Amino acid sequence: MTITISISSTIGGSGKTTIACMFAHLLSANYKVLALDLCGQCNFTEVLLQDNTVRGTICDVLEIGNVTSYIVSIDENLHIIPGDQWICSSPSKFYIQGYKTPEVVFAMKELLNQAKTAYYDFVVIDTPSTSSKEVLNLSLSISDFAVMTYSPNKLQLIKSWLNKIKYVQDEFNPELRVGGILRTRFNDIEASHIFYNREVYRRHPEYCWNSIFHNSPLFSNIDSNSIKKVQVDTAFKAVYDELILRLLKTRKNGI
């Protein structure tokens, strides 16, 4: 059974794409992984693909209706459907055909679910920003396990994210599970960081990960070469280990 993990946030700069890259990279050491880039910035694609020249993207998948033709092999265990800066305009095709808003998400969901074949153990999704409503709903609608990256900022952002999860569960994907809130970009020096670090755990202890993705120069300019360095993997080990533990717990509880 393929497990689909989406990494999302309600604000830029939270390390969302870095987290997605590290999960895809480390999972592929032992499992078959498909990376799915649904973010218009396409950084997920840029980091994982050494050769950024691609013949097709996620927009081609949604336009032509063929998934397998646009999967690019990075290595034996890691494949990717490359991102596209115009991904946010893809739903317009379905609106032109007369689809209503929920039907657009269902149509795209049915198409991308074809990627969740028996070949892959995991699909890791880098989601778009919340400004792309249909594509964000799409990324969550095909996910089993949703993780939020939260960097020091308004705590209301967490409530907004949880409300979005609830909406997608009710409308598109009742099997979606909250994978938790991963605190990112925190340090132990700035007073605001210390406050938000403690406060988010106080308010959401059931969702907060124990591990924290701290600011580190190791991840400042991550690319297809640096992501393979032992020290990078070591620095990320606590976060990755907790991902596995949370997946195992969720599976045990019926995912």
pLDDT tens-digit series, residues 42-69: 999 999 987 667 889 999 999 998 898 9
d(CA 219, CA 232): 7
Round the CA-based radius of gyration of the chain to a whole number and report it: 17
Q: Environment class of residue 97 by beta-carbon count within 10 Å: exposed (0-12), middle (13-18) or buried (19+)? A: exposed
- Tell me, yes or no, if the pTM score tops 0.85: yes
- pLDDT, tens only, 68-101: 899 999 999 999 999 999 998 888 888 888 888 7
When pLDDT is averaged across residues 97-108 and rounded to a whole number, the result is 86
* Residue 253's pLDDT band (cuts 50, 70, 90): low
CB atoms under 10 Å from CB of 95, counted, come to 13
| Domains of the chain from N-terminus onward | 3-252 (3.40.50.300)
Cβ-in-10-Å burial (0-12, 13-18, 19+) of 52 comes to exposed
Please say if the pLDDT value at position 254 is more than 70. Answer: no
Residue 238: C-alpha distances to residues 108, 128, 197, 234 (Å) = 35, 26, 17, 8
User: What Cα–Cα distance (Å) separates residue 22 from each residue in 10, 132, 244?
Assistant: 20, 24, 13
H helix intervals, 65-190:
91-96, 101-112, 133-141, 156-171
Asked if 83 and 44 count as a contact pair (C-beta separation under 8 A), the reply is yes
